[in-house]
A and B are shown apart, each in its own frame.
Chain A
Amino acid sequence: MDFHQLWTIVSTPDNVPIVLLLFLVPFYTWYGMRQAFANDRLIAELEANPEMAKTHHRKTQPYKTGWAKEVHVWPYLLRIEFLAAIIVTVILMVWSITLNAPLEEPSNPTLTMNPSKAPWYFLGLQEMLVYFDPWMAGVVMPSLIIVGLMVIPYIDTNPLGNGYYTYKQRKFSILTFIFGFIVLWVSMIVIGTLIRGPGWMWFWPGTTWDHNRLIFEVNRDLPDIFGITTRVPKIIFGAIVVGLYLVAAGIGIHKLITKTAFNRRIYARMSVLQYVVMQTFLIIMLALPVKILARLMFRIKYIWVTPWFNI
């Protein structure tokens, strides 16, 4: 156990936000889900008792008849905002006094940094480079993430859970988002920051970053495993495998979104366009963990090899 190495990584000034993220993301996930479960319990009560549903004010927040429904922004909101501003200022000040922003040597194109890392918020994308070519990891995937986030409101036809925390009423969308945000985005950032060392090799926390370490990994292309060596059959074979993945993932996702009676009800509200867009983005999103598993378990480099692009 090399604690010195561990400390060097964790205390690198630009890694501090990740350490912060390691605490903040689980905390807020817990904080939000706790309210979701509290609300779910109340929902179950209201579902079971129609009389109560008519009279209850349908929130877990305390309520008494006679209380004003609304409060003045001044002072009840503005004082909170003022307090928040002060607290943020204090945090930022203390952080800035105690920790210096990094400044390395002057830029030198002839001296490559190893590992040379992007800013932490892009490390998820850089980590993706292990599994995909740059055009996919650096351009197509980020664009699809952005567009995919934008279309969320237009493909989510579930009218429940609008303006309150809930898990029960939105299981599929909550789980999908948590999968995308925490499993694929935050954890890949954490891996890229804390675990990837020289040569972008995997160093478990506590092991020494050995700049001379060599890993003999023979990653093979899928067509080669099947003994396909010439160009045209490779293209056709890859296209078939990718096509099979698309179909299989599509069927799997379809099964998932029509699993329960409630899910089927939401599914029935979707237009064809909404369904197609949702399938497209979910299939592509799922391709990332599938490719990661294919690499880690079967040492597969590319699935579809063509002269123009490889996937």
Chain B
Amino acid sequence: MADTNGQPEKPVDTGSPAAGNGSGNGPGNGSSAVAKVLADAKAVRARATEELKETIKAPEKTDVWKSILRVKHDETPRSRALGVLSNVFLHLHPAKINRDAVAYKYTWGMGGMTFYVYITLVFTGTLLMFYYHPSKIIAFRDILYLESDVPFGKLLRNMHRWGAHLMVIMVELHMFRVFLTGSYKKPREFNWVVGVLLLVLTLLLSFTGYLLPDDQLGFWAVTVGTNMARATPLLGHAGPFGPQLGMTPFNDVRFGLLGGSIVDSNALLRAYIWHCVAIPILASAFMVVHFWRVRKDGGISGPAPMMLEREIKDVRKI
């Protein structure tokens, strides 16, 4: 390596396509054959060095680079647009947006930040799953172990906990902003409905996670929460018309939620599966729909030009 680095200029000519001729295989006397092989090797090495330098100097010209990114990245509007449109992670964005729509004042950024916190939660949650067994007695010990022995375990748990709270707050503020700007109005009615479902799923995600440390806090919170279910009209054993329909603590809706008549190991397992598998999948699916519909309904709602009262078109009455 050292001598090739010492003579960078010289092998430029040999680096040209002609160098790879592969000749010199014919029989000859020993010493000249060895010399030829050595010379060839030197030429190949010089060429490789040259190619490496080219690659480092302009990696965007290599086939690998082109195959990954597919488009040129230069300072043209076309490239800027393609940079967003041809990227799977960015393609939910349009290439261009209204100049006013980037104002934080209008959007509060709560929807996007909610999504980001959700990603953070999936990431920290997956890491937490490596250290957690959803069964009684072990579950609580896992948390203690996580807090005291796992490197950064405490930070991981804290981030997951506070991230969850942050997500609930952000979802509510996002909804507040969407309401204040009237963004649920035509044509975005259905996306508001999807958003409400996402709010419910967010609360359920947070609630199912509450039980998992299996401490007094989670246990009693979930006990209080699921005790409501026994009062479900018709379907709970303590609810209106429940007993009349044959509901008992062992066949009502609360039994179905907990997998038993008390919050115990089955409830822990159910909470775990809802929390780590079922609801994240559901929520992800609804998020896909939510984001997709934002685009299909014409992008972010505003700031739109104001409409005046005299411009209301009266609807035809039947």
The yes or no verdict on A and B being binding partners is yes
Most chain A CB within 10 A, of B106, B108, B179, B227, is at B179
Determine if A106 and B214 form an interchain contact, defined as CB atoms under 8 angstroms apart.
yes
A–B pairs, 10, beta carbons within 8 Å: A58-B306, A74-B84, A75-B80, A93-B159, A107-B140, A134-B230, A149-B199, A163-B182, A181-B179, A262-B309
The B interface, classified by DSSP as helix, strand, loop or mixed, is helix
Q: Are B309 and A153 in contact (CB under 8 A)?
A: no
Number of residues of chain A lying within 8 A (CB) of chain B: 106
Give the Cβ gap from A151 to chain B, nearest Cβ, in Å. Answer: 9
Please pick, from A96, A146, A169, the residue contacting B155 in the complex, using a CB distance under 8 A: A96
Q: What residues make up the interface of B, taking CB atoms closer than 8 Å to A? A: 77, 80-81, 83-84, 90, 93-100, 102-106, 108-109, 112-113, 116-117, 120, 137, 140, 143-144, 147, 154-155, 157-163, 165-166, 168-169, 172-173, 176-177, 179-186, 188-190, 192-193, 196, 199-200, 203, 206-207, 210, 213-221, 223-225, 227-233, 236, 238-241, 244, 262-263, 301-310, 312-315, 317
The chain A residues found within 8 Å of chain B, CB to CB, are 14, 16-17, 20-21, 24-25, 28-29, 31-33, 35-36, 39, 42-43, 46-47, 53, 57-61, 67-78, 80-81, 84-85, 88-89, 91-93, 95-97, 99-109, 111-113, 116-122, 125-126, 133-135, 137-140, 146, 149-150, 152-154, 156, 159-166, 169-170, 173-174, 177, 181, 262, 265, 268-269, 308-309
Q: Establish whether residues A107 and B192, one from each chain, have CB atoms under 8 Å apart when the complex forms.
A: no
Query: Which residue of the partner chain A has the closest CB to B312?
Result: A159
Residues of A close to B206: CB separation below 8 A: 119, 121
B240 is contacted by which of A28, A81, A170, A308 (Cβ under 8 Å)? A308
Return the contact of B308 from the options A46, A73, A95 (Cβ within 8 A): A46
A138 touches B302 (CB 8 A): no
Known A32-B177, A117-B221, A160-B309; further 6 A-B contacts with Cβ < 8 A: A35-B105, A93-B159, A96-B155, A106-B214, A107-B218, A119-B206
Tell me the bound Cα distance from A117 to B213 in angstroms.
Answer: 16
A84 close to B109 (CB less than 8 A): yes
- Contact call B203/A135, Cβ cutoff below 8 A: no
Contact of A77 among B93, B185, B192, B224 (CB under 8 A): B93
